[in-house]
Amino acid sequence: MEPTTLIYGRAGDHLLALDLYRRPGARHAIVMVHGGAWMANDRQTPRVVCAALAERGFAVFSLDFRDGRNGRHPCAVADITAGIRFVRRMAEPLDVDAGRIGLIGSSSGGHLVLMSAYSADRDEHRTTEVARSLDGDDFGEAHESAAVGYVISLWPVSDPLARFRYAKEVGRDELVAAHLRYFEDENHMAASSVQRLLRDGPDARPATLVVQPGADQNVPQAMTLDLVAALQQADVPFRYLFNPGLPHAYAYQASAETSRLVNELVPFIDEHR
């Protein structure tokens, strides 16, 4: 499936693009956020899952956003929430339902979608200008909400400081370097924890699905179980899906396991769409 590319926002000199995957008549919008340790990959990285969800009848908007290559946290959250506002603002010309938008992210993108879902409309997340038309040649402040009906987080790096220390312990120098590109220091990582946000009190509590592969070498299972505990304490309605034997980011490639994952996501989406 070939997507349609649109410009959804602007941050300084950066024009922000998205790819829209859909079949005719698909009205339920899903915003997709790729992973890449906050400094790699782009909107085409999750194309396999985007196309599979589009085949199941969803309109999937896969975003580019600023990361450690051109910004610091929370610049990506500001861009992602701008993408949600764009979809909501352009709901009529895009022929999607503005009332119920879903959000999916993986790995570092899993961290970003959780931060976005639980604190979407904070002032610090309204710094990215949103396109005022589908032409992408006029931008401005968006007054629309970036609230979502549900969020799906695939193998999320939910606690950046915990993962930073894990990466140092196991000698994953590329991950250590990635953290230091997107976050200023360890205090900044600690302040950017989803668990901390939940324990301090989230602004919103959308239904949440967390997926953890059993053979993930990038995200320790203990971190995800700590996220589950924080979700319970914050009274967020959630489900936890554990897939034994599978590696980190396995769904970026076409496979039987990726197809199975999509089949596992669809009932959750249908329940909350």
Confidence of residue 202 (pLDDT cuts 50, 70, 90): very high
Residue 173: count of CB within 10 angstroms of its CB: 9
Put residue 32 in one of left, alpha, beta given phi > 0 → left and psi -120 to 50 → alpha.
beta
User: Residue 182: which domain range?
Assistant: 4-272
Q: What is the CATH number of the domain that holds 128?
A: 3.40.50.1820
Per-residue pLDDT at 7 exceeds 90: yes
- Residue pair 216/245 in contact (Cβ under 8 Å)? The answer is no
- Which of 266, 264, 271, 199 lies closest to 236, judged by CA? 199
Q: Are strands 28-33 and 102-106 parallel, antiparallel or unpaired?
A: parallel
| Other residues' Cβ atoms within 10 Å of the Cβ of residue 252 | 18
Q: How far apart are CA 186 and CA 179, in angstroms?
A: 9
Q: What pLDDT is recorded for position 48? A: 98
**How many independent structural domains does the chain possess?**
1
- DSSP-derived 3-state class of residue 208: strand
Query: Could you read off the pLDDT of 165-185 as tens digits, one per residue?
Result: 999 999 999 999 999 999 999
- The radius of gyration computed from the CA coordinates of the chain, to the nearest angstrom, equals 17
User: pTM higher than 0.95 for the full model?
Assistant: yes
Evaluate if residue 234 carries a pLDDT over 90: yes
How many residues belong to the chain?
Answer: 273
pLDDT level of residue 273 (50, 70, 90 thresholds)? confident
Q: Cα–Cα–Cα angle for 19, 23, 29, nearest 5°?
A: 60
Query: Which string of DSSP letters, residue by residue, matches 30-91?
Result: EEEE--STTSS--TTTTHHHHHHHHHTTEEEEEEP---TTT--TTHHHHHHHHHHHHHHHTH
Tell me the three state secondary structure of residue 7.
strand
Give the pLDDT mean for 188-215.
98
Tell me, what's the pLDDT at 142?
87
**Nearest residue to 28 (alpha-carbon basis) of 65, 3, 56:** 56
Q: What whole-number distance in Å separates Cα of residue 56 and Cα of residue 30?
A: 12
How far lies 187's CA from each of 143, 153, 160, in Å? 31, 24, 10
Q: Give residue-wise pLDDT tens across range 45-98.
A: 999 999 999 999 999 999 999 999 999 999 999 999 999 999 999 999 999 999
